[in-house]
Chains A and B, each alone.
Chain A
Amino acid sequence: DGGITQSPKYLFRKEGQNVTLSCEQNLNHDAMYWYRQDPGQGLRLIYYSQIVNDFQKGDIAEGYSVSREKKESFPLTVTSAQKNPTAFYLCASSIEYRPSEAFFGQGTRLTVV
């Protein structure tokens, strides 16, 4: 089945540590996105990638980094510079850069302990 897979579903991190969230899609989509969701808030764009080896900052990129070495993979690293990393992280993809047509993964809940 084609789809977009995020792993792990739950992730715990000690303060000061970097952690990488995985996002894989087998939909042959060129564009991929990372969003952050906080309780009672809408999704906010962290980074997006329109094509392999290219990515752009979204509205809240500070404290995060990404890579896009393969078309199917768009990992997100939450660095120690992110002051409030506890959140629900959602990855999405679309055939090309059309955010309104993106399919979402099931999310990773990151908790800093």
Chain B
Amino acid sequence: GESVGLHLPTLSVQEGDNSIINCAYSNSASDYFIWYKQESGKGPQFIIDIRSNMDKRQGQRVTVLLNKTVKHLSLQIAATQPGDSAVYFCAENQAGTALIFGKGTTLSVSS
């Protein structure tokens, strides 16, 4: 089936920098997108979501951008902290169907 992919498997940033994690999706019928954070040895945690009728959504220190023209999704983390170090996954969903997960980007934050 179609899959969601991430552009980079790893991203290293300095504490205090802004991080941008990218994701490309291929199913134009997907109408809901989610970003998850997964710390080592733990299950994924929901970070933020966005519906296809939106271009941008902001949370606490995080922003998700959706560009449907090029089927691109990004997660921006402001003032990245060491506690943000984890694997970040995007996932796409079409109503009534299973989630499709991307491969994940490992974010490493050095202080």
**In the complex, which residues 3-47 of chain B have their Cβ closer than 8 Å to any Cβ of chain A?**
3-4, 9, 32, 34, 41-45
**Min CB distance, A100 to chain B, in Å?**
4
Residue of A nearest to B93 (CB): A100
Q: Give the size of the chain A interface in residues (CB under 8 angstroms).
A: 20
**Segment of B54-62, B73-81, B100-108 engaged in the interface with chain A:** B100-108
Closest to A109 in B: B41
Q: Is B1 an interface residue (CB 8 A)?
A: yes
Q: What CA separation (Å) do A59 and B3 show in the bound complex? A: 12
Cβ–Cβ < 8 Å partners of B93 in chain A:
99-100
Given contact pairs A42-B4, A42-B104, A43-B89, A99 touches B99 in the complex (Cβ within 8 A): yes
Per the CB 8 Å criterion, the residue count for chain B at the interface is 23
B41 touches A43 (CB 8 A): no
- Summarize A's interface: helix, strand, loop or mixed: loop
CA distance A45 to B1 in the complex (A): 12
If A42-B4, A42-B104 touch, does A104 touch B43 (CB 8 Å cutoff)? yes
* Residues of B near any A CB (own CB < 8 A): 1, 3-4, 9, 32, 34, 41-45, 49, 89, 91, 93, 97-104
